[in-house]
């Protein structure tokens, strides 16, 4: 960046806003000025990347609600935890059940667990008591949704400036929400899931923005499944997180159990995703073998049935002494093995097309942003 550009731009004020000057004597992130340059591009509504990201940036835009409704300002008050009794929906919720039920006889307790007939306290949506008055731009707005950001810090995010683009996107998203004081929850994830951070007022927003700017993509692996499950558990069982949308910012190089997560999300929680780049997971023999063993897809179930038939024939062969019967069983084993090979090959082709792309199907809003080409 040239001196003349620095003299006429908001570079230094924005670097201070990012929180970089607080640690300038210690360490600055690699190529940190790139984030500033990318943010400037994203702020240009006419730019192709900015247009592609518009659906994400509009998630919390009050103008997207019914313009005819009266603007009602809600005071920013601490949320009281209110609960109502409800039956568990999955075995994983057993840790939340009312303690008295642990006194039931073991067989009764296990039967109720299997039937999902144990009772637990489920958070109710907090009640806001409204007042009719005007306010300045820092007043919380009851039309704003809470957003739970999951930020990918896996090592693959270092490629093609993905981590810089991700930071710029989250920075602009946070700044937009800060104007309305929407509530933001934030976790990083790679092989592990980071601590939960919250922004709901000016100081906490400033702290979160600075934290995001200093995040490093050094994680080994991408446990997107664990990150999404953590967010779902938080939203489902913490009243302050109720009705929050999940926003995933990732390069998408991860496989998730789509059917399981769809059941966990239910009708109340939505997932939106910004996928950076076009990286895909490679599907090799180990991946196919693992999916055959664990997936509920019809193809995987059929292959498991064929393996069972093969084992049955092999068991009969070991117990048979007659040569004609042995030859017949060997022929059947060879035939079944041929079917296994054919079905596995076909299933592998299906996996290669969709494996690692499940997050697209899970998302209500899905935006794929191309990698930044080096100049």
Domain boundaries, the chain: 3-65+140-281+361-369, 83-123, 285-354
Write down the pLDDT at residue 3.
45
Q: CB neighbours (10 Å) of residue 227?
A: 25
Contact 47, 83 (CB under 8 A): no
Q: Which residue has the higher pLDDT, 160 or 127?
A: 160
Q: CB neighbours (10 Å) of residue 263?
A: 11
CA distances from 232 to 95, 190, 245, 247, 262 (A): 15, 17, 10, 12, 11
Tens of pLDDT, residue by residue over 46-100, are: 888 888 888 888 775 544 444 444 444 444 444 445 678 889 887 778 888 888 8
Average pLDDT over residues 189-196: 93
The DSSP code for 252 is -
Orientation of helix 323-354 relative to helix 285-294, angle to 10°? 100
Write down the pLDDT at residue 144.
57
**CB within 8 A of 119, min separation 6: which ones?**
85, 86, 87, 88, 97, 98, 101
User: In this structure, what are the phi and psi dihedrals at residue 309, rounded to the nearest 5 degrees?
Assistant: -60, -45
The answer, yes or no, to whether residue 10 has pLDDT greater than 50, is yes
Write down the pLDDT at residue 131.
45
**CB within 8 A of 257, min separation 6: which ones?**
225, 358
Q: Which residue has the higher pLDDT, 290 or 30?
A: 290
Write down the pLDDT at residue 6.
43
Write down the pLDDT at residue 156.
87
The answer, yes or no, to whether residue 128 has pLDDT greater than 60, is no
The answer, yes or no, to whether residue 374 has pLDDT greater than 80, is no
Write down the pLDDT at residue 12.
46
CATH 3.30.160.20 is held by the domain 3-65+140-281+361-369: no
Tens of pLDDT, residue by residue over 250-269, are: 987 788 888 889 999 988 89
Q: For strands 197-199 and 365-369, give the pairing.
A: unpaired
Average pLDDT over residues 155-172: 90
Tens of pLDDT, residue by residue over 304-330, are: 999 999 999 999 999 988 899 999 999
Write down the pLDDT at residue 24.
46
The answer, yes or no, to whether residue 28 has pLDDT greater than 60, is no
pLDDT band at 135 (very low <50, low <70, confident <90, very high): very low
Average pLDDT over residues 212-236: 89
Contact 85, 119 (CB under 8 A): yes
Helix (H, G, I), strand (E, B) or coil at 365: strand
Write down the pLDDT at residue 14.
55
Q: Which residue has the higher pLDDT, 252 or 127?
A: 252
What is the percentage of the chain residues whose pLDDT exceeds 70?
79
CA distances from 371 to 12, 147, 229, 310, 374 (A): 26, 25, 27, 47, 9
């Amino acid at each position: 960046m040239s001196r003349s550009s620095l003299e006429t731009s908001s570079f230094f004020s924005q670097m201070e806003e990012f929180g970089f000057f607080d640690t300038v004597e210690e360490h600055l992130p690699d190529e940190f000025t790139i984030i500033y340059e990318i943010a400037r591009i994203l702020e240009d509504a006419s730019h192709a990347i900015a247009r592609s990201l518009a659906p994400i940036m509009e998630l919390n835009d009050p103008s997207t609600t019914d313009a005819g409704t009266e603007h009602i300002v809600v005071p920013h008050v601490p949320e009281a935890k209110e609960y109502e009794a409800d039956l568990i929906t999955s075995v994983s919720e057993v840790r939340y059940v009312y303690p008295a039920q642990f006194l039931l006889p073991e067989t009764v307790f296990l039967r109720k667990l299997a039937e999902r007939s144990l009772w637990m306290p489920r958070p109710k949506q907090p009640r806001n008591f409204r007042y009719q008055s005007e306010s300045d731009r820092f007043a919380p707005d009851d039309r704003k949704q809470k957003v739970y950001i999951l930020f990918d810090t896996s090592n693959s995010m270092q490629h093609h400036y993905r981590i810089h683009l991700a930071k710029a996107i989250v920075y602009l998203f946070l700044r937009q929400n800060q104007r309305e004081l929407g509530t933001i929850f934030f976790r990083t994830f790679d092989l592990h899931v980071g601590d939960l951070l919250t922004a709901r007022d000016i100081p906490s927003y400033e702290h979160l923005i600075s934290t995001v700017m200093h995040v490093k993509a050094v994680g080994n692996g991408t446990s997107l499944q664990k990150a999404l499950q953590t967010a779902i558990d938080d939203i489902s069982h913490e009243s302050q997180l109720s009705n929050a949308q999940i926003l995933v910012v990732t390069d998408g190089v991860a496989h998730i159990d789509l059917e399981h997560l769809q059941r966990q999300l239910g009708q109340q929680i939505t997932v939106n995703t910004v996928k950076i780049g076009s990286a895909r997971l490679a599907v090799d023999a180990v991946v196919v073998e693992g999916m055959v063993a664990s997936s509920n897809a019809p193809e995987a179930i059929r292959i498991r049935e064929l393996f069972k038939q093969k084992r049955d024939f092999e068991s009969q062969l070991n117990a048979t002494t007659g040569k004609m019967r042995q030859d017949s069983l060997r022929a059947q084993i060879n035939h079944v093995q041929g079917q296994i090979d054919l079905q596995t090959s076909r299933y592998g082709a299906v996996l290669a097309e969709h494996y690692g792309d499940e997050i697209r199907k899970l998302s209500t809003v899905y935006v794929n942003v191309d990698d930044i080409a080096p100049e």
